[in-house]
Amino acid sequence: IFNKCICFDEIDSTQRAIKKLAREGREAGIVVLAEAQTDGRGRMGRSWQSVGGRNLTFSVLLRPALLPGEVQLLNLAAGLALKNALREECGVAAELKWPNDVLCRGRKLCGILSESAGEAERIYYAVTGIGVNVNMEPGEIPQELRGSATSLLIESGKSWPRWRILTAFLGRFAALLELLSSGGGAEALLELYRAGCDTLGREIKVICDDGSVTGTASGVTAQGAIIVKTREGEKTFAAADVVHLRA
Catalog residues that contact ligand BTN under the rule CB under 6 A. 13-15, 37, 40-43, 46, 48, 57-59, 111-113, 129-131
Residue nearer to ligand BTN on the CB measure, 43 or 205: 43
User: Where does residue 119 fall: left (phi above 0), alpha (psi -120 to 50 degrees), or beta otherwise?
Assistant: beta
Residue nearer to ligand BTN on the CB measure, 40 or 64: 40
Residue nearer to ligand BTN on the CB measure, 129 or 224: 129
Shortest separation between residue 93's beta carbon and ligand BTN, angstroms:
20
Shortest separation between residue 185's beta carbon and ligand BTN, angstroms:
26
Residue nearer to ligand BTN on the CB measure, 82 or 123: 82
Shortest separation between residue 157's beta carbon and ligand BTN, angstroms:
25
Cα 133 from chain centroid (whole Å): 13
What lies within 8 Å, CB to CB, of 49 at 6+ separation is 40, 142, 145
User: Where does residue 230 fall: left (phi above 0), alpha (psi -120 to 50 degrees), or beta otherwise?
Assistant: beta
What lies within 8 Å, CB to CB, of 7 at 6+ separation is 32, 33, 34, 35
Helix (H) or strand (E) holding 82: helix 72-90
Residue nearer to ligand BTN on the CB measure, 99 or 179: 99
SS3 assignment, position 189: helix
Residue nearer to ligand BTN on the CB measure, 50 or 84: 50
CA separation for the pair 133, 82 (Å, rounded): 12
CA atoms within 13 A on the CB side of 67: 9
CA separation for the pair 62, 125 (Å, rounded): 6
Shortest separation between residue 120's beta carbon and ligand BTN, angstroms:
26
Shortest separation between residue 152's beta carbon and ligand BTN, angstroms:
15
Shortest separation between residue 71's beta carbon and ligand BTN, angstroms:
14
